[in-house]
Each structure stands twice: as structure tokens, then as C-alpha cells.
Chain A
Amino acid sequence: MSHVDPRLGENIPGEREKRKSPLGELIWVYTAISEAIAWTTMTNSMFRTYLRQDMLLASLVR
């Protein structure tokens, strides 16, 4: 695998908000997984605070 350039990871095609693009699909899956983990580990109020109250904070916490 040494022939693969690590920069490849930076340039995934697509846009964040378009689920039909590769990057959008990856982010969608990632959001689902991370929020499921958060829902099972955090308390309800913590979950609301960190992941539902502020979109920017949520995207950082994920």
C-alpha cells in the first residue's frame, strides 16, 4: 500500500451536504455512528447540550 499517497484522504470527491456524493455519504454514516455512541454513553442532558443545541458545537464534538 506504499504506493498510495496519503494526500488521497484529503481529496475525497463530493460535498459534505450532498449525500449522493462519496464525501457526503461518509459523513452521513459517520454522523449516525458517532451520535449512536453519544446517545448510549452520555446522559440525556449532555447529549442535548453537545449535539442538539448548537450545530457548530455538534460538528466539533462528533
Chain B
Amino acid sequence: MIGARLSRQYSSLFKGMTNSEESRHTFMLCLDPTADIIRKATRKNSRGFYSVFHYNGHGCPLPTAGGELWVFTRSISHYVPLAVRILRQWVGPRAIYILDCSSAGVLLPFLVENLSDSSLNDPEAIGSEAGGSQQSTPPIAPSKFSTIVFAACSRDEMLPMAPCYPADIYTCCLTTPIQISLQMFILQVSKLTPHTDLLYCPFIYTYVLNSTPI
């Protein structure tokens, strides 16, 4: 269900893009994937543009301190670890990682470290990027900002699990900010009424406590 909604959110993001450059975006939905499926999906990524790897780790084990995500075995009976270093070689140098899982910050050092692997410094990708963007803004240096990570929380935090909030609340904040903020507003106002269990939700609770401008 989350996967279906995620693809709907992304397709509504894509719908507004009518440029020829942006319409080359394609996306692929991998539900309960094995490592093989992920490798096949990342093989046909578009060179020179950003590839988005969106990991929804709800109900999976936590990512390990060794930098591993959890994917399924072929028979969808067990979880097996998938190292982030391998994943980075598959996805390519220009990538956006969205990690919507508890203790996602564990993976952050593995995603931002420099790999000495030659596949991450692909000259073809750099060249097509420079040729592809004909806008007034000059293309940035490809070594800089080329991997962008969105992580839901730091290494020792858990995502809120109260049933009144959507499980993929971080994804919602990124893709459909208007809708989720209205939803949160309604929930926060209705917390003033009794029988609402706001304390179940540490994220919103701390947000209300220290709501300082960034």
C-alpha cells in the first residue's frame, strides 16, 4: 500500500514536468525486492541525471552498523543484508538516497564516504551531464554535491509508530508537503481535545516543544 502511494506521489511530481530534459525521468517500483531485482532496476538508470534510490524500511530489521540494508531472499522468506557500498556502485555517482527507516543515520557515513572505485567517477556521466543541461545555469562541478542523502532520523532514533500517523511520514514530508502539513495541523489542533495520544508520537512531540526556526 505504501509502495502504491509512493509511486502515485512520484508520478504526481513528474506530471508537472513537461521539459524534454525532465520527462526522461522514469521510475521503477520494487516491492519486497531481492538484491537481484535492485541490481536490474539500477542498471537502466539514466546517465548524467540524478537517480533516486528510495528505501522504505518499514517492518524490516534496522540497518546495521556495518552499512547494510535488508532485502529479501529469492523466496521472500528471509532478510539478507545488502551492503551500501555495493549499492552505490550499482546506482552510480549522481544519486539521491532517501532512507525512510529507523536509525537511518547509521548508513550516512557509508553513503558520503569517497569510494576509490573507478565506476563512481565515470567520465561518460560527467560529459552527458554537461551536454544535457542547456539552461542558463552552468553545470556544477560533478565531484561536488553529486551524492545527496535524505535520512529520516539519526543513528539512535526510531521513527514514530503511532497508528494515527502515516507510517511513511518522512516520505510524505518530502513528496507531498502540503497534504501532510495540513494533516499534521489537524492532528495537532485536535490534540487539545482529550483522548488523543500525542505522547505516542515522539517526533511531533519534540517538534512542538522545540519549534525553533531553522
Q: Which residues of A contact B (CB under 8 A)?
A: 1-2, 4-10, 12, 15-17, 23, 26-27, 30, 41, 45-46, 48-50, 52-57, 59-60, 62
Is B16 a contact of A54 with CB atoms below 8 Å?
no
Q: Which residues of chain B are within 8 angstroms of A16 by Cβ–Cβ distance?
A: 12-13, 15-16
A57-B193 contact given A8-B182, A9-B182, CB 8 Å threshold: no
Is B178 a contact of A48 with CB atoms below 8 Å?
no
Q: Which residues of chain A are within 8 angstroms of B205 by Cβ–Cβ distance?
A: none
Closest 4 pairs (CB-CB, A-B): A9-B182, A9-B183, A2-B193, A17-B16
Besides the contacts A1-B190, A55-B17, A56-B13, what 12 more A-B pairs have beta carbons closer than 8 Å?
A1-B189, A2-B196, A9-B186, A17-B16, A27-B178, A49-B140, A55-B22, A56-B14, A56-B25, A56-B50, A56-B96, A59-B175
Total residue contacts A-B, CB cutoff 8 A: 87
**B179 contacts partner chain A, Cβ-Cβ < 8 Å:** yes
Distance (Å) between the CB of B128 and the closest chain A CB? 14
- Mask for B133-177, Cβ within 8 A of A = 1, else 0? 101010110001100101000000000000010000000001101
Is A60 a contact of B140 with CB atoms below 8 Å?
no
Is A6 a contact of B186 with CB atoms below 8 Å?
yes
Q: Which residues of chain B are within 8 angstroms of A41 by Cβ–Cβ distance?
A: 214
Is A48 a contact of B140 with CB atoms below 8 Å?
yes
Cα A16 to Cα B179 in complex, Å, equals 11
Distance (Å) between the CB of B80 and the closest chain A CB? 29
**B19 contacts partner chain A, Cβ-Cβ < 8 Å:** yes
Distance (Å) between the CB of A49 and the closest chain B CB? 5
Distance (Å) between the CB of B149 and the closest chain A CB? 12
Most buried by B among A10, A26, A50: A10
